[in-house]
Every structure is written in C-alpha cells, then in structure tokens.
Amino acid sequence: MLTPTPYRVLVCDLRSDQLLDVLPLWGVSLDDFIGKTGSLQGTVRIVTADLAARARASLIPGRTALWLERGGDIWWGGILWTTSLASDDRGYLALTLQAATWDSYLNRRMLYDSPESSGVDQFDIVRGLLAYLAAQPGGDIGIEAGTELSGITRDRFYSRFDLPYVRDIIDALAKVEDGFEWRIGSYRDPDSGRRIKRLQLGHPRITTGAREIVLTRPGPVISYTWPVDATGQANSWQSRGSSTNRNQTADTTPLMSAHLTNTEDIAAGWPRLDGSSDYQTVEQQDTLDAHARADAASRLRPLTIPEITVRLDGQITPALLGAAVRLRITDLWWPEGMTARYRVVGLATSPPERGRPETAKLTLEAA
C-alpha cells in the first residue's frame, strides 16, 4: 500500500520553468549528493479522469521539471526522465515517476566545438562550459552561476572530435590535483519566491552552515553502517593518457605519468599495492601528472564512507549538504565512546512504513 507523505510536486516546463500543475505524491523517496547525481521516486495515484488528464498533459519525460515541496520549502529539484503507468487487478491506476537532479542534464549535452583556455580559473572554465550549452538552441534550462573564484588557474583544450559530454569534462576537471566540488542546488529565493537552479562550486570542498549539528547514538541516530573497503587502496600509482604518436603506421605509445610510490607507507609496514587510472583525452604531461597525484592521494587509505539513519526532524533538511556534524556513538564496538567530526555529502529520505517514522540517511565524509 502506498504511503502518503507531506510532499507535493510542482510540475514545470523544463526550459521556461512555467508552472504546469501541482500534484500530490505518494511513497516519496529522494536523495541528493555532493559529487554525484541525486534521484527522486514517487507515485501519482490516478483516482479520477480529471487527474489522469492533468498528469498525461504535464508529466512528459525529458521536458518536464519537478520541484518537490515539503512543508512549503523546496527540498529537491530535477528533471523527469521516466514514467511508468501501472494498473492493479482492481483497475486502480498509479503513475510512478523517476527523476534526477539538474546535473543529469549535463550527461546529455556534448561539445560540438573545441574550446581552449589558458591561465583561466577552473571555476570560470565550468561557467564557460555551461554558458556554451545555454547558448545552443533549446539548451538553456535556467541554471544560474555566480562569480566566485577558486584561485587555481588551468590550461585546457577540449576537442570536439572526442565527442565529449560536458558532465565528464567537469568531473575530470574537478578531480585533478587542487580541484573542487560542484553541484546544482535547488531552492526558493526568500525575497522574491522565485525557484532557482544554482551552480554551487567549492574549493577544495563545498561547505555550508555556521555551526555543527550534534548527532548521537543512543539518541537521534537510529542505525548506522560503517564500511571499510581496501579493495581500491594503493601506495604505488601510475596514470595513462592519450597516445603521443600521430603516425598511424607506427606503434602507438600512450602518455604516462610519473610512477608514484609512497615509500613512507611501505616503510610503515603496508604491503605494496599497485593502482592505475586512464585519461584517454589528456595530452599534456603536467595535466596527467596532476591527475595521478590526486588519484594516488585519494587511494592511499581504505575507503570509509559512513552512513547514519536518523529521524527526519526540523534540523535535518537538504540544506545540510556540505554542513559539519559532530557524531558521537557509544556501543559494543566503541564502548569508550567515539566522537568525530564529519561533513554531510549525501542525504536520502525514506517514506514512513508501518510502525516506523519517516527517516533520512546521511552519507558522511571526514571533515
């Protein structure tokens, strides 16, 4: 049975953001992240012919924007990509919606020119790419950007012959040494009430909030998972770039980064663990070396991404993304108590179930 939730969805035209309809959603689950695309699932119960006609006219995958409201506040925004209409044995109809955050649009936009930047702040490179997309016919979906700078300049050339997707370009730029984080947030302007899709950039990370939120177990933390994964760990690293040989009749040799070995790690008793990464469009040695250094640093220790589940209350909102929390856990694993500071990099809500309240799962990263 579908569970009602305190959400409603504003259905808008993707390009103009013109409001088309306002519909109740059931069984809503959503997530949003720093560093990857968020998603929304929910169901419109088709209980009248009028509602069926409204949903059929407004919920068009690929050209419809969805803004999710909870208690009058915007909690999520993104693009409707798929719908699924289902009828049960009693003839009741339900339309299931699946949408993804605004950044999913960049997975479907390519460069058909070859822009070049020399000594340009990496934030301006990102804004330039978005401006290029918006300038194409039908390419402006209203993403707004600021003027903040990272202080890090880059030289970049992107060839149209690589048929690059803009999302891949931005992600690669962000993950180089001394890179940045980015996302496209959704909120309502407190003065005008206007709905805003805003490019957020943070160097080296996106941070929000002026004070820490303290979460404890026992307490608001209902449950947690604490994975420690060493399968991708490495203290010896090399990255591979594009082919450096333009003579098609000769053997090709790829551009290789310097071979990086963390001798201190090995001297401390860790076994040698090799790793590598590929950047098939990178043709500059210094760019490839910067990628290799960033990759090697990120893989030096086991990957630990804690997730905690908390009751959804007034202090848990999507505005927590990028905010710091103080986590305190006392249980059999940490009988003396564990206290650590983390940053929230993901938030996912789950609808209430029988005998269980609506909850939020927070994905954490060491602050």
In a domain, 120, yes or no: yes
Domain assignment present for residue 167? The answer is yes
**pLDDT > 70? residue 290:** yes
Judged against a pLDDT cut of 70, whether residue 2 lies above it is answered with: no
Residues 138 and 173 in one domain: yes
Query: Mean pLDDT over residues 273-277, rounded?
Result: 98
In a domain, 208, yes or no: no
Single residue among 102, 123, 155 that ends a domain in this structure = 102
pLDDT of 329-339, one tens digit each? 999 999 999 99
∠ Cα 198 204 209 (to 5°) = 60
**Does residue 72 share a domain with residue 47?**
yes
Query: What three-state secondary structure class fits 90?
Result: coil
- Give the pLDDT band (50/70/90) at residue 350: confident
Q: Which residues have a Cβ under 8 Å from the Cβ of 186 and sit 6 or more positions away?
A: 67, 74, 76, 77, 78, 101, 102, 195, 196, 197, 198, 318
Q: Is residue 288 part of a domain?
A: yes
Give which of 328, 334, 322, 332 is closest to 363, Cα–Cα: 322
Task: Please state, as a whole number, how many other Cβ atoms lie within 10 Å of the Cβ of residue 185.
Answer: 21
User: Is the pLDDT at 1 greater than 50, yes or no?
Assistant: no
Check which CATH number belongs to the domain holding 309 and give it.
2.40.450
Of 232, 64, 359, 360, the C-alpha closest to 23 is 64
pLDDT of 102 higher than 50: yes
Q: Is residue 146 domain-resident? A: yes
User: Cis before residue 115, ω within 30 degrees of 0?
Assistant: no
Same domain, 188 and 121: yes
Q: How many CB atoms lie within 10 A of CB 367?
A: 15
| Euclidean distance between CA atoms 108 and 310, whole angstroms | 35
Q: Is residue 291 part of a domain?
A: yes
pLDDT at 4 > cutoff 60: no
Please indicate, yes or no, if residue 37 is contained in any of the structural domains: yes
Same domain, 290 and 338: no
Asked whether residue 346 falls in the same domain as residue 220, the answer is yes
Arithmetic mean of pLDDT, 156-163: 95
Residues 181 and 61 in one domain: no
Q: What is the CATH number of the domain that holds 165?
A: 3.55.50
220 and 319 share one domain: yes
Query: Could you tell me the residue range of the domain that residue 260 belongs to?
Result: 236-298
Residues 219 and 356 in one domain: yes
Per-residue pLDDT at 249: 60
**Residue 236: CA atoms inside 13 Å, Cβ hemisphere, count?**
7
Return the pLDDT at 10.
97
Q: Which residue, of 77, 102, 127, is where some domain finishes?
A: 102
The whole-number pLDDT of residue 205 equals 96
Q: Is residue 150 part of a domain?
A: yes
Instruction: Give the count of domains, the chain.
Output: 4
Whether 84 and 155 share a structural domain: no
Of residues 288, 278, 239, 241, the one with CA closest to residue 259: 239
Same domain for 43 and 182 = no
Indicate if 191 and 67 belong to the same structural domain: no
Q: Say whether both 218 and 314 belong to one domain.
A: yes
Confidence of residue 247 (pLDDT cuts 50, 70, 90): low
Summary mean pLDDT of the chain? 94
Residue 241 has pLDDT above 70, yes or no: yes
8 vs 76: CA distance, rounded Å:
11
What pLDDT was estimated at residue 244? 66
Q: pLDDT higher for 182 or 280?
A: 182
- The domain boundary, picked from 298, 331, 349, lies at 298
